Structure 1
Amino acid sequence: MGPLSILNRFVSANAPLLFVLLWSTGYIGAKYGLPYAEPFTLLFLRFVLALLLLAPLVWWFRPAMAMSRRERGHLMVSGLLLHGAYLGGVFAAIKLGLSAGLTALIVGAQPLLASLAAPLLFGERPGPLHWLGIVLGSCGIYLILGGAPSVSYTLPALLAAVAALLGITAGTLYQKRFCTQHDLLAVTVHQYLPTAALFGIVALLFETREIDWTPPFVAALLWLVLALSLGAILLLTWLIKHGEASKVSSLFYLVPPVTAVEAWLLFGEPLGWFKIAGIALVALGVYLVIRRKNPMGAMG
């Protein structure tokens, strides 16, 4: 067995865990980077750099880029939802003063919304234990949120986080419905191009586009590009392609508790017993949802 086969099997077996660990750091990266640049300016830089790094990968692997205008349209819509609405909302919420942990908690309602919509869109029929897992996960999120009643926020910040929630939910379901038949690199490129254009237009119209190029900002930008825009997004695209929509969405329940621990370690955001109990409930809920043997097979 060659090195690539070993790597392929490792990533296939650990894709959900790797995705959660990488995805949760997006909120931390935003909190590190936003003191030095406005949100849409930072996002524009992130996606332009990601596209530049994707170019040699596309040249090397030569994925099938030919597709109909309708297929390109579906990819662009999914990208604007999955990246544009979601990331724009998250970065705006954190910039407006919402904590990284609370932002992650609000977006953490995504699995519940996706599970409610999946039976209608895909004919998925979750069993009783699946719904028990969803209920436990929701209770866990509530406990984590209830453990920090003194957190203050503004209405615009809250609305931005809700927009991110709706964007990631709609984007995940839309991509599962219309965009699973294409190569991962082809999907990513077609999603990033309109998203970069959107962020560039918003930054041009509403921001000063001033950047303080400090070492912390450069480090945060590189992490957002390499770990999130390349690593985590490619993993998410693969998971959506190979897994049931409701099961993939259940992984997002793990993001708030992981982010809460990271925010506690890095920024001193409080982590009391309510949050710890909530983390345990979330973990149990996700286990009940995805407890069956992984049917996804090997990556590819």
Structure 2
Amino acid sequence: MPGQHAMRIWHKTIPLLLLEAGLVVAWSSGFIGARFSIDHAPAMLVVFWRCVLVCVVLLPFVLRQLRQASAAMLLRNAGIGFLAMAGYLAGVVQGIALGVPAGLAALLADLLPIGMAILAALAFRQRLAWRTWVGLTIGLLGVVLVTSDALAWGDAPLWAYGLPLLGMLSLAVATLWQKHSTGAASLGLLANLWLQCCVSSIGFALLALLEGSLKPVPSTGFVLSVFWTAGISTLAGYGLYWICLKRSTPTRVASVLYLSPAVTLLWAWAMFDEPLSWLMALGTAISAVGIWMVLRSEPAESRQ
């Protein structure tokens, strides 16, 4: 139908840079939402109900697509979604819950562009231009400067420091799987989001049960945490992530997220009155230079 077709291609009329800017803002909101929610409920309980809310809201809009999709397509998209959401969030959040400092966990998660580039080279024999590697390295240096004030070595067990790294690798694998899977895109964005939240909620439910119960907390803070992370971090964050991936390379999409730590600190300054520093400004500028080099060598694609 014409209306459904228009809904599927609306994002093609928006400049890619504007979509990427929205991605950075929405993606960084997840760290703020997680920080806010910790004061009101266990972290895994919030992400579980966040997925449940998204599934309930999206179901009327995707039910027909899900019924028409083949079992192979559903399984493929479910696997991609589980790695992208459950694998990534569980690794980062559980690492923090076990004592890994939030700044260090975020830095390990921000290794995504490097991890993705290495995996692409190993799995798909993709050779990146030297400017891309230089840009990724410069961008990472900027991230280190931005987060330097928040970096610390906690008292978590040694193996727990590998959880954020595993979470990052899980998202990297999901991204490359999605990009190189021709059938996954035909399911549709909203159906993909519904499916990834559905399968991820199972993993989050098991982790939440280990922390206590699946019963929602009767508090305003808990409700705000669920709605914040469901609307901005999940629907907008992951939605824009997959849209940008359709229109550009995985390396470019991941490199843009180098700006998320700086935007996260801006969120924290606006919402929690946390101080800003000159290192943050310097690191943001350096990351911007690195991202610019990646954008020059990893142009947008229009194959999909």
TM-score bucket (shorter structure): 0.7 to 0.9
Aligned identity (percent) is 28
- The CA distance in 2 between the partners of 1:91 and 1:199, in whole Å, is 11
Q: Which of these residues, 162, 167, 170, is aligned with residue 165 of structure 2? A: 162
State the one-letter code of the partner of 2:174. G
Instruction: Report if aligned partners of 1:122, 1:177 keep a CA contact under 8 Å in 2.
Output: no
In structure 2, which of residues 264, 267, 281 is the aligned counterpart of residue 259 of structure 1? 264
Report the Cα offset of residue 222 of structure 1: 0.6
| Greater shift in the superposed pair: 217-226 or 71-80 | 71-80
Letter in 1 for 2:32: I
Aligned counterpart, 1:153: 154
| 1:39-188 correspondence runs (5 A) | 39-58=43-62, 62-63=64-65, 66-96=68-98, 100-148=102-150, 151-156=152-157, 158-178=161-181, 179-188=184-193
Please say which of residues 43-52 and 195-204 is displaced more in the overlay: 195-204
Note the alpha carbon deviations across 1:80-126, whole angstroms, 9 max, x for none.
Answer: 21110111223334444555544332211110111122234345432
Matched position secondary structure for 1:155? coil
Deviation string 1:160-202 (CA, Å, 9 cap, x unpaired) is 3223222222222222233344321232222222111121122
In the alignment, what sits opposite 2:223? 218
The alpha carbon displacement at 1:7 in A equals 7.0
Q: Give the superposition deviation at 1:139.
A: 1.4
Contact between 2:249 and 2:301, CA under 8 Å: does it hold in 1?
Answer: no
Structure 1 outlier segments of 4+, above 6 Å: 2-7
Distance 1:54 1:33, change over 3 A: same
Q: AA paired with 1:164?
A: G
Q: Aligned pair in 2 of structure 1 residues 236, 40: CA closer, same or farther (>3 Å)?
A: same
d(CA) in 2 for partners of 1:265, 1:98: 25
Distance 1:116 1:7 in 2: 29
Maintained 8 Å contact 2:113/2:251: yes
2:148 & 2:123 partners in 1: Cα distance? Answer: 33
Partners of 1:143 and 1:258 in 2: how far apart? 14
Question: Are the counterparts in 1 of residues 249 and 299 from structure 2 also a CA contact under 8 Å?
Answer: no
Native 8 Å contact 2:54 2:194 kept in 1: no
SS at match of 1:154: coil
2:279 is paired with a residue whose SS is helix
From 20, 30, 52, the equivalent of 2:24 is 20
2:282 aligns with: 277
Count matched residues.
295
Using the TM superposition, name which of 72-81 and 26-35 deviates more.
72-81
Contact residue 39 and residue 88 of structure 1 kept, 8 A: no
Match of 2:14 in 1: 10
Identify the residue that residue 29 of structure 1 maps to in structure 2.
33
Quickly say closer, same or farther: Cα 1:248–1:124, change in 2 above 3 A: farther
Distance in 2 (alpha carbons) for counterparts of 1:196 and 1:6: 29
2-structure distance, mates of 1:11, 1:52 = 31
Structure 2 stretches lacking a partner, 5+ long: none
Distance 1:155 1:257 in 2: 25
RMSD between superposed Cα atoms in Å: 3.0
- Counterpart of 1:239, as a letter, is C
Taking the aligned partners of 1:245 and 1:55, their CA distance within structure 2 comes to: 28
Equivalent-residue separation in structure 1 for 2:140 and 2:153 (angstroms): 22
